[in-house]
Each structure stands twice: as C-alpha cells, then as structure tokens.
Structure 1
Amino acid sequence: MYAITILGAIVIVITDNRNPVKSLAWVIVLLFLPVVGLVFYIFFGQNFKAKHMVSRRIKRKLRKRDYHSIVNIDTLSLSEESKQEIKLCHSLCSMPYYSGNRIKIFTTGREKFDQYLQDLENAREYIHIQYYIFEDDHLGARVKEVLLRCAARGVQIRVLYDDVGCWSVKKRFFKEMQEAGIAVRPFLEISFPQLASRINYRNHRKITVIDGRIGYIGGMNIADRYVEGLKWGTWRDTHLRIEGPAVQGLQLLFAVDWSFECKEVLSAPQFFPLLEDRGNSGIQLAPGGPIGEWSNIAMLFLKAITNAKKSVYIQTPYFLPTDSLSKALQTAALAKVDVRVMIPERSDSQILRYASFSYIAEMLKAGVKVYFYQPGLLHAKTIIIDDELSSVGSTNFDFRSFEHNFEANAFIYDREVNSEMKRIFIEDQQHCRRIILHYWRHRPLLQRVIESLMRLMSPIL
C-alpha cells in the first residue's frame, strides 16, 4: 500500500507539469526518504496555483477605486527596456504605473521605525498593517502601544499577520489589540483540517498604509532584531517610505489580502483618496505568490536582467536562483555586463546558506562578482539595473519567494533613486569579502558535499 501511495504521488508530481528540476527533486525525496518523504510531500508539495484569492468581481470593484489616471507608457521619458518592463508588469499583475512619487530609503531598522512610529502617531482616519512577523518584544510592544492610542482616539486599524511567521507569539498579544477595537487577523491560519494545504504557503509581505497617503514596503518585519541586530552581528536591511499616487497600489495589495481573509471589501472612497504628485519617482507594485498563472516577480527579474546593458547589482539573504535566472545572470556577465551578487557570509539558516553557496562557482566562472557581507546578516532584497530601474521589496532571490510565498516588490523608475541605491550597494561592498574562483575551488571537501546535497533540495526548500 505504501509503494502504491508513493507511486501515485510521483505520478501526480510528474503530470502536474511543474518545473522539471522541482519535479525531479520531489521524486528523489519520495523515493529515497521513506515515510518522511511522503509526509513532506503532503505538507509542502501540493500545488496551490489553481486557487483564487478573490473573485474577479471584487478585484474590479477595488480597481475602480484606483483613481490614478492611466499613463501612456510610450510617452514616458524612459529607456525602451524600462517601458518593456512596465508593460510586462501590467500584463502579469494588472498593476498600473504610478508617476509623481517621493521615496525615502531606510537601511537600518532604527531609522525606519523612528519614522514609522511617528507616522502611526499622526494617523487621522485609518492604519492598515501587514507583516510576516509581528513579534511580542520591545519593538512589537512599542508599535502595539501606538496602535492602542490611535484606536482610543477613533482611528480605524486593521492588522494582518502571517500565522506561521507568528507561531511563537502568544495569542494574548493580539487579543489585547482586538479588545481595544483593532481588527487583527492571521493570514492562512493553520488548523488541522487545512494543515496540509496551507502550511507551505506564507504571506511574506511587509506593507503599511496610513490614511491612504503614506505607504511602507520592503524587507523589515516588526521585531527587535531588525533594530538591535543579532548576537553575532548587525542586521542590514532595506525598506521604503512612499508618498504619492503609488500608495493606492499598496492599498490595493492590502485590500485584496484583507478581503481574502475577512470577506470585507475595502472599496470605500476614503481608502483610495485622490493624491497629488509628491516627487519624481515612477513606481509599479508587483505582487507575487503561489496563486495565479505566472511567477510574476521571477519573470520581472528575468526580463530586467536580460534587458540590462551596463550593470546588475543584487542583494539577497538567500541565493537560490531558478535555472532561467541563473542562466540570465551568467549570460549577462559573459556579455560584459557588470553583474554583482551580495549575500551574507553568515546566515540565519544553515541549510539555505549551504544551498546558496552551491551556486557560487558557476557564477564566478561566468564572470559574476560575488561578495560576502561580513558585519552581520544582510537581509535586504534589492535589485539595481543600469541607470533608472531599482526593485525593493520582500522577495528573496530563491525558489520559496518565487513559488510559495505571497510577496510584494516596488519597481522604481528614477535615476536619482537608482543612483542612491547604487551608492548604498557600493558602501555595503566595503564591508564585504569578494570571492575569488581560485580560492573558492579549494574550500573543504565536506563543505562541497553538503552544498551539493542541499542544492538537490533547493527547489523545494
């Protein structure tokens, strides 16, 4: 019976017509890890693609509230490559291009949360918060106290957190907010009837919208380590504060997730106020996740890399590229595009660290420059392409973010922002160790074996 079950699972994996590398990884797990492999497949291997978050009717209702005028992409003073990227994002995500935004870049948690708490305090009508992790620690308590004060003076507050990301948080932490009139919901709450179908999917987005006028998006969660760092080093991350029409895009992303969990459609005019231009940055928001026909953010990254003429700079805590992205980076480097990849030397996940290391040799052979960030954990998720395109968000450069997590990235079209992002990258580079192929080849044999084993599992990690 067990053999029949395993064969049945393998048939399902093969006929599902997934990425062949990923399918092969699951076949190996099912064949060579008796019992454990089957349990892993039940919990982590099922395909979520056919499901829908909200109906087309609700999506249309929400998008009608996006009052930002439609921009004729062909008239923008951007490169043809950037225009192609914008059109691709619209085809994949149905998200408009928003011009006239002002962006503030944060690279430390202390700087970001000082501004964040101040913006929360100044809220007048409502606050929408969505985080993968909302810890019950010193920072979490500070954010909660501000929210309680805001709720006491009549501000409507909605908080969406990921159930798996907050498993360690005691229920009384969120219950206190609920008792104060704050609407708090877990995303994809894990219960026993739904355990197998939900546990592998995480809402990894980090979004905040305040009064429909100020928005936040990036890589930082609400937890002390994002401000204080770790015992063994600093925590280096990137987050954005946005003012201008693109805040409507952040509101739309939050509204879709909220509607999915709470069946409340946030389509009232107050949630999508008319916004004046506040700066010069063009922004397009790109949601990614296990639902939908395409791997949105992976395809946007692929297009941006293949379009690059001069440079591709990537910062990511985990580097497990798909085969197409790996080939795109190698192709760009071989074409003499300046391709640089920065990852942390030490990680918060040894499995992902070894799996990431397994891709380095092939990158180096093609001429990709690889840097290990040394002061602590590099958690930033950024890509900088040529002179006018940058991407900042929650998406790691790995299989999980591309396939299993609900993610969100801001694609920014602005030469000044691009220049600032490059300056930050070069500054971080001063705190890195550049990896040289000759020395990398001589790393210990045991490490290379472990890397190879972890790489076999990388499509399903």
Structure 2
Amino acid sequence: MLDWILNNWFLSLLIANYIVAISAAFFLIRSNQNPRKTVSSLLFLVALPFLGLGIYYFFGLDYRKSKIFKRKDLNANELIHNWNKRLHISDDDLDKYEETFLIDRLKMVKLLRHNQAAPLTLSNNLQVLINGRAKFNQLFKDIKKAKHHIHLEYFIICDDHIGNEVIDALIKASHRGVEVKMIYDSVGSDISRAARNKMTAAGIEHAAFMPVLFSKFTRKANYRNHRKIFIIDGSIGYIGGVNISDDYVNEPINYNGNYWRDTHLRIEGHAVKSLQAQWLLNWFFIKEQEDQYHIHKDYFPEITLPENKAVQIAASGPDTDWANIMEALFIAINTAEETVYITTPYFIPNEAILTSLKSAARSGVEIHIMVPKKGDSWAARYASRSYFEDLLESGIHVHWYHRGMLHAKTMVVDGLFATIGTSNMDYRSFDINFEINALIYDHEIAEQLNNQFLIDLEYCEEVHLDLWIKRDKMNKFKESFCRLWAPLL
C-alpha cells in the first residue's frame, strides 16, 4: 500500500483532496448559507483541486457562526456590563425622542442595542477632523494632557516620520507615569524591532493582533484588525480612517506624491466608554486573559457633560453574532427619505446593500457615491466599477475623486444621521475584518460632512450612464473578472 502511494503520489494527493472536499461540501450544505455562495464554493471544491480547499477554508467557512474567535463578549465582564447598564436607555425612554433628532432612527438604535448591547450615549462633544495633519495636531495636544492612561489600536502603525512622532509622544507620556498600551495589526503595521524595543524600555506595553507566523498563516492571515482607535484617560477618543503612517500626512517631509483625503472624529464624552470596552476586549483577547480581567476604575471615569450629541458605537468582526455595521448602514439607507451621501475608498457592496441603494434611489431618494478614480488596488478598482452601470441605471450619482487617494469612510443620511469609522463599503469590512464605526444622530455634524462632500466634489468628475456603457470591451472584461473575486478583495 505504501509503495503504491509513493509510486502514485499525485493521484494519492488528489484522492485525499477529494475526500476532504466531500467532507467540506457536507458541512457547507448543512450550514444553510446563501445558495449562490454555497454553489460557488462547491464549484471551487470540485473544479479546482487543492486550490479549491484553500479558497473554501479562507472564504467559505462562516466564522461568525463557528465562533473560532473565542473571547468574551461585551456582557461577559461584570464591570463592563455595569457601565453599560448605567448608560442604558430603555425603549420607553427612547420613545420621547421620536419627535426630535432620533425621528426615523429608532430602529437603528434598537438594532445595535439588541445585537451588541451597544448603548446610545447622549452626552458627547464631537470634532470632525479633515485629513491626517488635523488629526495629529489635535492628538498631540491631547497626549500631552494625558494623566492616567493611553490606549490605542491601529491597523497600520509605521515608525516613519509621523509614526516616530507618535511613538516619541507616547514615550514622554509613559515617563510621566501615564499607562500606555498599544495594539497593532500584525499584517498592516510595520514597526521595526528597534522601535518596539524603545517602547518596551520606556514601559509601553504593545502587542500584535493575531501575529502571522508561517506555521499559523492559513488560519490568521485573512482576519485583520482594521480598527483605528485612540483613547486618552477614558474620556477622549479618536475613530476614523487615518492610520499612523506618512501616507496619511500630505507634507513635503513625508509626502509620497499621492494626496491622501481622509476623515477622522474626535469624541469627548460617554461614547468613549464604548470605545474603551471594545479596546479592552481585544486587549484581553491578545493577552489571553480570558479568566482574569483587571479593569482600573479610571478606565471608565465619571464624565459630566450636558446632553449635546447622540452617538452609538458599532463594532463588528468575525467574533460578533451579527454584521452590526452592515446592518446599521442597511437600515439607514432603507429609512432615508431625501438624501444619502457616501464616501468610500472601496465600493464592493454585498447584495443587501446594493439592493437597498437601488431601491432607495428608485423610490425618489437622491443618492451620491464618491470613490477614488485610481485608488490603491487594481483589482478593487475594477471590481468597484462593475457595479456602476447598475447604480447609474437606478438613478444613483457616481463621482470619481481624482485629486489623489480618497480614503474617508463616511455616510450622511437626510442631513440628520452620519457615520464616521473604519468600515469600507465592501465584503471585507462587512464580513472578514474587525471594524468600528461611530453612528452620529446630529444635524450639525451631518451638515459638516455634507459640506465637506460638496468641497470634495470640486475634485471629482461624475460618471454618466450614456458614456459609461460605451467603455471598451477589455475594461468590461476586467470588471467582470474582478467582480468574481469581490469577497476576496
């Protein structure tokens, strides 16, 4: 038997492949996923030996249901649950806001509270920060004032010019006695050993999120921490699209020739507690402290601010029961009555979002979508363009931003609701990566983002249906081919 296997090694591997493939097909059928996704996965398993198994392992399994990310959820820790209860607003209390800023938005508020136990917070001061320099200028001021702790979590941290400025500021804070803890994504970040050693010597705790080693590559390479969170003393928080890298700062010393347009949000108030809770969950996950939580009381300080801006934090990832951010965007679009303005670097929507956008447009809602003309991914660019004809035929306005890389991730609905965060409007953000968004129920912030959208339109060209359908056949083929791989991009 062994001799036969050795003499027919390729055939033996092929037989083994299909034994495993049949088992995978059985579990795939039993999982009751979307029929189109199931049929596609089965086709890969049958038609592509070896490669099909790899594609199924990465993209066919429903990790949200299988719970391979074993960590405690928001209610698993008693202390976090206690502050959640203090911020909790009952359904009866919410009803009094029906005639105010929450009109037609109560479904979204209740959805997240039920899905994720994410409280609606009413006492917040907000500052919209346009582009990297505005963010870092304000951030350095806040770091200098830090007294107890600084917690940060980023997809990209590089020890380049701006990265070293941030690291140096954190080291100075640590020398003042401020607790500094950093989470960085193992794939997205590029921090040298020298920089890590320098932080360690200064007393800064830092940890890579799901580090990718060769032996663990197949399990961990694809599920990345795409969040950008910075928390100072539990009362000031930052969230948005700006990573810690020179790419995000348009200045001569670190300018790479590609203008970077991005949006970030500074929060002061109770919503920071939700950011803190999400950061803590990832910190405990990384440190494998499932059974012993240590939460200092100053992580959730008392904050006395008048009711000003209503904010809800939506976090999603393979570890959550529901696609919280995608569902929030879905409801926001479906409840729109007048306008929807979307800014996203990658527009590769799933069927639910695409249908909601087209249905809203055909029902009379004015929808504008802004995407970069070039972008930083060839495949994502063409996959995105494959949706344009459908959008344009439904009456949706598509705008190509040509000044540089448009990286902002914002949406404004009816001039009343807005979201700023880390989630792109694509499969990867909705289903694969760990993301976090601030949902803002406030006319003033929505108006600021609408005004910025109009400013950005000055650097756009609108895509018109009559010209778009005349594009050459080679581009159409590239779009169709890349769209096949949309869930992988």
Same fold (TM over 0.5): yes
Residues 102 and 278 of structure 1 are in contact (CA less than 8 Å); yes or no, is this contact kept in structure 2? Answer: no
Residue 163 of structure 1 corresponds to 186
Per-residue Cα deviation, 1:228-249 (whole angstroms, up to 9, x for no partner): 3864531111100011111111
The reply on whether 1:150 has 2:173 as its aligned counterpart is: yes
The reply on whether 1:248 has 2:273 as its aligned counterpart is: yes
Residues 68 and 274 of structure 1 are in contact (CA less than 8 Å); yes or no, is this contact kept in structure 2? Answer: no
Residue 444 of structure 1 corresponds to 472
Match of 1:239 among 233, 242, 264: 264
Letter in 1 for 2:22: L
Question: Is the alpha carbon distance of 1:139 and 1:28 closer, same or farther for their aligned partners in structure 2, counting shifts above 3 Å?
Answer: farther
Match of 1:201 among 212, 220, 223: 223
Per-residue Cα deviation, 1:210-264 (whole angstroms, up to 9, x for no partner): 0111110011110000003864531111100011111111111111111111226
Residue 383 of structure 1 corresponds to 411
Residue 201 of structure 2 corresponds to 179
* Secondary structure of residue in 1 paired with 2:63: coil
* Secondary structure of residue in 2 paired with 1:161: strand
- Per the TM alignment, residue 45 of structure 1 is displaced from its structure 2 partner at its CA by 4.1
Moved more, 57-66 or 289-298: 57-66
Letter in 2 for 1:259: F
CA distance in 1, matches of 2:389, 2:79: 49
CA distance in 2, matches of 1:138, 1:371: 33
Question: Is the alpha carbon distance of 1:162 and 1:282 closer, same or farther for their aligned partners in structure 2, counting shifts above 3 Å?
Answer: same
CA distance in 1, matches of 2:369, 2:294: 40
CA distance in 2, matches of 1:402, 1:46: 15
Residues 244 and 278 of structure 1 are in contact (CA less than 8 Å); yes or no, is this contact kept in structure 2? Answer: no
Per-residue Cα deviation, 1:385-409 (whole angstroms, up to 9, x for no partner): 1121101100000000000111100
Residue 214 of structure 1 corresponds to 236
Residue 14 of structure 1 corresponds to 29
Q: Which runs of 5+ in 2 are unaligned?
A: 1-14
* Secondary structure of residue in 1 paired with 2:104: helix
- Per the TM alignment, residue 66 of structure 1 is displaced from its structure 2 partner at its CA by 4.5
Letter in 1 for 2:182: V
CA distance in 2, matches of 1:15, 1:94: 30
TM-score by length of 1: 0.95
* Secondary structure of residue in 1 paired with 2:77: helix
Letter in 2 for 1:152: H
CA distance in 2, matches of 1:57, 1:106: 32
The reply on whether 1:324 has 2:343 as its aligned counterpart is: no
Per-residue Cα deviation, 1:289-329 (whole angstroms, up to 9, x for no partner): 11222111111111110000011111111111110110100
CA distance in 2, matches of 1:364, 1:312: 15
Question: Is the alpha carbon distance of 1:380 and 1:21 closer, same or farther for their aligned partners in structure 2, counting shifts above 3 Å?
Answer: farther
CA distance in 2, matches of 1:457, 1:23: 15
The reply on whether 1:59 has 2:87 as its aligned counterpart is: no
* Secondary structure of residue in 2 paired with 1:455: helix
Residue 73 of structure 1 corresponds to 94
- Per the TM alignment, residue 116 of structure 1 is displaced from its structure 2 partner at its CA by 0.8
Question: Is the alpha carbon distance of 1:67 and 1:302 closer, same or farther for their aligned partners in structure 2, counting shifts above 3 Å?
Answer: closer
Report the RMSD for the aligned CA atoms in angstroms: 1.9
The reply on whether 1:341 has 2:357 as its aligned counterpart is: no
Residues 255 and 266 of structure 1 are in contact (CA less than 8 Å); yes or no, is this contact kept in structure 2? Answer: no
Residues 74 and 281 of structure 2 are in contact (CA less than 8 Å); yes or no, is this contact kept in structure 1? Answer: no
Moved more, 227-236 or 415-424: 227-236
CA distance in 1, matches of 2:274, 2:29: 37
Please list every run of at least 4 consecutive aligned residues from structure 1 whose deviation after the TM superposition is greater than 6 angstroms.
Answer: none
- Per the TM alignment, residue 422 of structure 1 is displaced from its structure 2 partner at its CA by 0.7
Residue 57 of structure 2 corresponds to 42
Residue 425 of structure 1 corresponds to 453
The reply on whether 1:459 has 2:487 as its aligned counterpart is: yes
* Secondary structure of residue in 1 paired with 2:158: coil
- Per the TM alignment, residue 188 of structure 1 is displaced from its structure 2 partner at its CA by 1.4
CA distance in 2, matches of 1:360, 1:266: 50
The reply on whether 1:27 has 2:75 as its aligned counterpart is: no
Between 1 and 2, higher relative CO (CA 8 Å, sep ≥ 6) is seen in: 1
- Per the TM alignment, residue 57 of structure 1 is displaced from its structure 2 partner at its CA by 6.2
Letter in 2 for 1:458: A
* Secondary structure of residue in 2 paired with 1:158: strand
Letter in 1 for 2:194: R
Moved more, 377-386 or 78-87: 78-87
Residues 21 and 459 of structure 1 are in contact (CA less than 8 Å); yes or no, is this contact kept in structure 2? Answer: no
Question: Is the alpha carbon distance of 1:266 and 1:420 closer, same or farther for their aligned partners in structure 2, counting shifts above 3 Å?
Answer: farther
Identity %: 35
TM-score by length of 2: 0.90
CA distance in 1, matches of 2:436, 2:214: 28
Residue 129 of structure 1 corresponds to 152
Residues 73 and 281 of structure 2 are in contact (CA less than 8 Å); yes or no, is this contact kept in structure 1? Answer: no
CA distance in 2, matches of 1:255, 1:20: 37
Residues 344 and 377 of structure 1 are in contact (CA less than 8 Å); yes or no, is this contact kept in structure 2? Answer: yes
Which has more radius of gyration? 2
